[in-house]
Every structure is written in C-alpha cells, then in structure tokens.
Amino acid sequence: MPTYEKTEEAISKLSLEEYRVTQQNGTERPGTGKLLYNKSPGIYVDIVSGEPLFASADKYESGCGWPSFTKPIEPAHVTELSDTTLGMVRTEVRSTHGDSHLGHVFPDGPQDRGGLRYCINSASLRFVHRDDMAAEGYGDYMDQVEDVV
C-alpha cells in the first residue's frame, strides 16, 4: 500500500498559484484551470501528496468554471469541513494526507449520479493519464477509469 504524505520537498516544487490554492485556501479564477476541459482517461491526484482523489469517469461539465466530479475515487482521501468564510456556509474539501485545499462540494450535481458536485481547483490536482497509471503506482484504479464523453 503506497504512503501518501505532505513533505517540504513537495511543497517547495509548487508554483505560486498551486501554493496559494493548496496551502493558503485560495481559489483559482473560474475558467482558468489547466484541467477544466481535460477529457482524457485517467485519475486526478493531490499535487502535494499524490493520493488518488478523482477519476475521469466521474468528471463532468457543470458549467461552474472549475473541474467538477460526482464523487471521490477514494472517499477516505477526501476530508469535508464546514467553511463559513465569505458570509455563507459551504463544505470545503481537503485531501486527507496532503491536507491540501481542493475546493468545495455542493448538493447540486447530477441527481442520477448521487446529486453532488465536487468543485475542484485545477491547481490542487495532478492528472495521471490511463497509459501512465500502472507505471506510477496507480494500477489498482484502472477499473475506475473510462473515456470521458
């Protein structure tokens, strides 16, 4: 079983935007994320710890301006916290092992797929293409990856 953790080395490799989002609870501007329109098959992992977070099969176009997913690939790798900033109550999602701020989850996702919308900053994610998953140690998740339509 792989070990996922937050390290000073991983933090030092983050771009300014990745650091601002993951370590300072920032949000990238809508429509600007590098993974927003990615339709390749694979998984999305925490940019800090490498822990698997979301599968391409669960990504969908929500129109919100950030990559959206219906569920985590490994629920234990996503922690939900109450967020009362900005004068509203929301549910923040963070990676469990990397403690990276990922985004928020909302109850307005596709009803036929569970009704949730995980609205995630591209800056908190690294995409691993299906063709590279086994070599990078994510082969156990191959059955959860399919082509995105």
CA-CA distance, 121 to 28, in Å (whole number)?
Answer: 6
Decide if 4 contacts 126 (C-beta within 8 A). no
106 beta partners: 117
Per-residue buried b or exposed e for 51-77, using 16+ beta carbons within 10 Å of the residue's own CB: bbbbbbbbbbebeeebbbbbbbbbeeb
> Does 119 qualify as catalytic in the annotation?
yes
Catalytic residue among 35, 53, 78, 119: 119
Is residue 44 helix, strand or coil?
strand
Token pair belonging to 43: 């998984």
By annotation, the residues acting in catalysis are: 119
